[in-house]
Structure 1
Amino acid sequence: MPSCDRTREAHGYQRFVALGDSQTEGLNDGDEVVGYRGWADRLAEHLAVGNPQLEYANLAVRGRLAHEVRAEQVRPALELAPDLVTVMAGVNDLIRPRFDAEAVSGHIEHVLSAFAAAGATVVTFTYPDPGLRMAVGRLLTARTRELNDRIRAAANRHGAVVADLSAHPVTSDPRLWSGDRLHLNALGHTRLAAAVGHTLDLPGSSADWGEPLPVQRSVPGLRRAGEELRWVAGFVGPWIGRRILGRSSGDGRGAKRPVLEPVHVASRAES
């Protein structure tokens, strides 16, 4: 495992690079007009407080599968010589009909090992059970658990730090997720950034990110059924259509922040 001194020296990080898919790109924390912020941007802002020398790159691209993260993002990231790397991949694989946990975790492990060998602090993730926030997600419960187990084992082999989201019930609260139920909303991204900060034991971080939200009134059955129909029509249908056509939401897109740049620390009003 990485040394405590390494993970606790918040201002020792000079070059932070985030790898992954749409969640790390920051989808639904902002929009296509104003731009997406997301948990990785928020984490970079936390790191930059009191550390104006910090530089940050985000190579994540929506729709990317684990093997694509490995093939497209590792080499450019290594060339940036990061001392902190986050690797979030595998969820797009999870929701595909032909899911191979061994193959997917193998790609993730390759990424972890590459940056560990380069001397970086590496953070990776386990994922909350989708069956706890949507009925159809129960079909993915078993494969999610298997992938999580494999990610933990791979992280242990390479000394990566794990933000164990699956261990905290709040990560399955629908109020942290946007209407498509696949991407976090602004509150969810805020909580996730705080989770990584706590995992790294950064100054100003705490376990509060994992506290449950206030109890919410139950939704009447008829309204819940209507929400399900709207979700299927608005998100599931288009997703199936892209699969049939062999398309991805990330086709033709590149990383939003492909090079290391200084970090703008958002004001309280922007947060």
Structure 2
Amino acid sequence: MRYVAIGDSFSEGMGDELPDGTVRGWTDLVAAGLSAGLAPRGETLEYANLAIRGRLLRPIVTTQLDAALALRPAADLLTFNGGGNDMMRPGVDLAELVAQIEQAVRRCLEAGVRPVVLSGADPTAQLPFGRTIRRRGDYLTAATAELCARHDITFVNAFGDEEIRDHRYWSSDRLHLNSAGHRRVAGLVLHALGFAGPPEPAASGAAGRRRLVENARYYREHVLPWIQRRVRGRSSGDNRDPKYPHWELIAPPAGSPLP
């Protein structure tokens, strides 16, 4: 089997950093889980990941999808998520985002590649202007679920997963999942593909309100740099290349693919 992922920071794996500084993320964990499930059948798994942080939906469904469909040998499975960065822009056209997603789905099906579409996990309870983004996310998720049902393809609704909204699944920037969050999304995907049971909740963490000093640090370290990039027309993914642009053979993990 050959599996390729496209998308933004969610699919690249930001927030799930390994000791050497590289990012892993749910797509890597899905690849490991698929490899583990295929091994008893005598089958192998090759994996590519073309996702790049900061990408808007348009370059995902054009540049990244073009590259994914051009891979040789051809992909069997493609996971796809996008639109989260668009929803944070004023004046976003949500209907146009849905049209772009549907066109991407059609291209995959015409190429004989099985698409699995995800809605990104919902960070809005922790974000400035979260209510506005939640309304947009609800609309985009519902419309995407409807088009996936119409095309009879797998849809993984991470945005609607109540469990993952808890603070213990999120990194310090409150926008990207941490390791526990990426493990949960991987579990949701592997379950949807029939390679695992439903994921269990993560271990309980310390609750409590964020202190004023923590909120001040959050705005200084995360919100202000984001605003400065928007003003300059820059992206966190500028000059970055995909982490796995070509097929990589994924050996079955020695233990569980979801540590």
- TM-score greater than 0.5 by the shorter chain: yes
2:12: which partner in 1? 25
Distance 1:132 1:69 in 2: 26
2:135: which partner in 1? 142
Alpha carbon RMSD of aligned pairs, Å? 2.1
- 8 Å contact from structure 1 (residues 130, 138) kept in 2: no
Any residues of structure 2 matched to 1:231-250 within 5 Å, and which? 231-250=218-237
In the TM superposition, residue 52 of structure 1 has moved relative to its aligned partner by 5.4
* Residues 135-184 of structure 1 deviation map (CA, whole Å, 9 limit, x = unaligned): 64123111111111121122123222111123321111111110111111
Unaligned runs of 5+ in 1: 1-13
Unaligned runs of 5+ in 2: none
- 8 Å contact from structure 1 (residues 129, 145) kept in 2: no
1:90: which partner in 2? 83
* Residues 15-64 of structure 1 deviation map (CA, whole Å, 9 limit, x = unaligned): 10101011111112115943111100110011111155211100101111
Distance 2:143 2:89 in 1: 18
Out of 210, 213, 218, the position equivalent to 2:208 is 218
Distance 1:259 1:116 in 2: 21
Q: Which moved more, 1:161-170 or 1:178-187?
A: 161-170
Q: Aligned AA for 2:198?
A: A
Q: Aligned with 2:79: secondary structure?
A: strand
Percent of counterpart pairs with the same letter?
36
TM-score (norm 1): 0.86
1:59 to 2:50 alignment: yes
- 8 Å contact from structure 1 (residues 116, 159) kept in 2: no
Pick closer, same or farther for the CA change 1:216–1:136 going to 2, 3 Å: farther
Distance 2:191 2:175 in 1: 23
Distance 1:241 1:171 in 2: 29
In the TM superposition, residue 264 of structure 1 has moved relative to its aligned partner by 3.6
Aligned length: 252
In the TM superposition, residue 260 of structure 1 has moved relative to its aligned partner by 1.0
Distance 1:29 1:130 in 2: 16
Out of 238, 241, 244, the position equivalent to 1:251 is 238
